[in-house]
Amino acid sequence: MGYKAGKREIMCYGIGDFACNGCFTIVSSFLMYFYTDVVKMDLGRVGAIILVSRMADALSCLGMGGLIDRTDTKWGRVRPYLAGVIIPLCLSMIALFYMPDLTERGKAIYGYTTAIIFSVLYSGLSVSYSTMMTCMTKDSKERLGFNLTKNISANLGAFFVTSMTLFLVGKIGQGNAGKGFVGTMCVYGVLYTGIIFVTFWNTKERVEISQKRYSLGESLGVALKNRHWILLCVIEFFMLVGMTMRSQGTIYYAKYCLGQEKLGSVLLSISSFLAVPMMLVVTYLAKKIGKKKCLGYGNLLLFIGLIGMWVAKRNIAMLMPFHVLASIGSGIASGMVFVMIAEVVDYSEYQTGKRPQGFLTSAVSLMMKSGVACAGFLAAQILKWGGYAAGNVQSPQASKAIGINYIWLPAIIAVLSIAATGMYTLDEEYPKVAEKLQNL
């Protein structure tokens, strides 16, 4: 425990989330739009593809977690999966945004196939990367350092994607959006592959883990005894539903409710850009007031900002400050997630003497990705209920549906997240947990 991570390792670990969150942002912000407005697929099929593929991602998390718990190589438990999955993942991302000239049924089959393959491979990357922090250090202060660079890189990755995607699509496609999306994914694929290999070669797993391998039943038993883990799963489910509803609804809201399609990229980019300095603020706040209060206050600011945007309607000068407030709140709320995951893993070891960290981490990821899956399906069904027609002037009912997706459901979910956060008490208990584990 005397080892202290160097700045190089902290930076190289953190930069990996530029790629991980970049992949997530591409799909959560642009895939639904690609299907509805570029490919012109039926909304019912779009919703089903998103639901099935993201549930495949969610369920793959548990399998990936079990695989990590049973892995032991000279490179560690999780790092080999980063290097092994990134190239096929990037190839599948290119295929995901390429739609061959097929019948409607053929397009649906192709959509299901590519989306499921991408989702399973993404699960391999995200679960491995998320689990790394629990394998690199048990020191709470070091984890805050790793988490800071991770979150800054994640939000820079999201900012890069949200600010550059439609620009690159236009430049590469020259009026052909389908061609533009494929070319853009090729650019991202090369970039992300290089970044993940930087992370792989410049990090080290050093937390000594018992060689005991836990069965699924044992791991589940450990998890269900940990009330903090259960609450974190619930909180993350709520937050990812709300976050995804906002993200994938932004382009629609800007184009059809505000009448300015290009404003969609601006709104997405502001959210990602503001999240970068917020990581510095969140790290300070977490030390001063605790992670629990960061979650609660962040969701409160998000709620106030969303209600303000609804009041502003098409008044862009009034809308933008409230969008900034909502983005700040979202950044604060999401900033401590992976430190909290590491701490609930520690709590299980403190509580039971067992540390099935792959299962515990992947199960939280399962709940997060289930939230993403539900958000994608729900958003498509709400648009269908509203009579949404791609490229046309929307009816009042369709505009209402877009507003529900972008503002009202995320606002309601922010309130539910605040309520769940109020029951989380590990912040108060963690000092004695850390003290006991340090003495093991």
Q: Is 232's pLDDT higher than 80?
A: yes
Q: What is the pLDDT of residues 114-163, one digit of tens each?
A: 999 999 999 889 888 877 877 777 666 777 778 778 888 988 998 999 88
Distance of CA 78 to the CA centre of its chain: 19
Q: What is the pLDDT of residues 41-51, one digit of tens each?
A: 988 899 899 88
Q: Is 295's pLDDT higher than 50?
A: yes
Query: Per-domain residue ranges for the chain?
Result: 7-204+218-438
pLDDT at position 338: 65
Range with lowest mean pLDDT among 215-219, 322-326, 401-405? 215-219
Q: Is 306's pLDDT higher than 70?
A: yes
Helix axes 216-224, 357-386, angle to 10 degrees: 80
CA dihedral for 128, 133, 136, 138, sign (positive or negative): negative
In DSSP terms, which residues pair with 76 in a beta bridge? 73
Q: Is 29 exposed, middle or buried (0-12, 13-18, 19+ CB in 10 A)?
A: buried
Q: Interior CA angle at 416 toward 374 and 116, to 5°?
A: 15
pLDDT at position 28: 85
Tokens of 44: 């019912």
Q: Which residue has the tokens 């995607």?
A: 165
Name the CATH superfamily for 7-204+218-438.
MFS general substrate transporter like domains (1.20.1250.20)
Q: What is the pLDDT of residues 354-389, one digit of tens each?
A: 887 778 877 887 888 889 889 988 998 999 999 998
Q: Is 180's pLDDT higher than 80?
A: yes
Q: Please name the residues in contact with 392: beta carbons below 8 A apart, sequence gap of 6 or more.
A: none
**CA–CA separation, 101 vs 111, rounded Å?**
12
Q: Is 292's pLDDT higher than 70?
A: yes
Q: Under a CB-based contact definition with an 8 Å cutoff, are residues 188 and 22 in contact?
A: yes
Q: Tell me what percent of the residues of the chain surpass a pLDDT of 90.
A: 42
Q: Is 63's pLDDT higher than 80?
A: no
Q: Quick one: which of 290, 236, 227, 224 has its CA closest to 423? A: 227
Q: Under a CB-based contact definition with an 8 Å cutoff, are residues 90 and 20 in contact?
A: no
- Per the rule left: phi > 0, alpha: psi between -120 and 50, beta: everything else, 223 is alpha
3-state secondary structure of 76: strand
Helix axes 291-312, 337-352, angle to 10 degrees: 150
Q: Is 1's pLDDT higher than 50?
A: no
Give 346's pLDDT tier (boundaries 50, 70, 90): confident
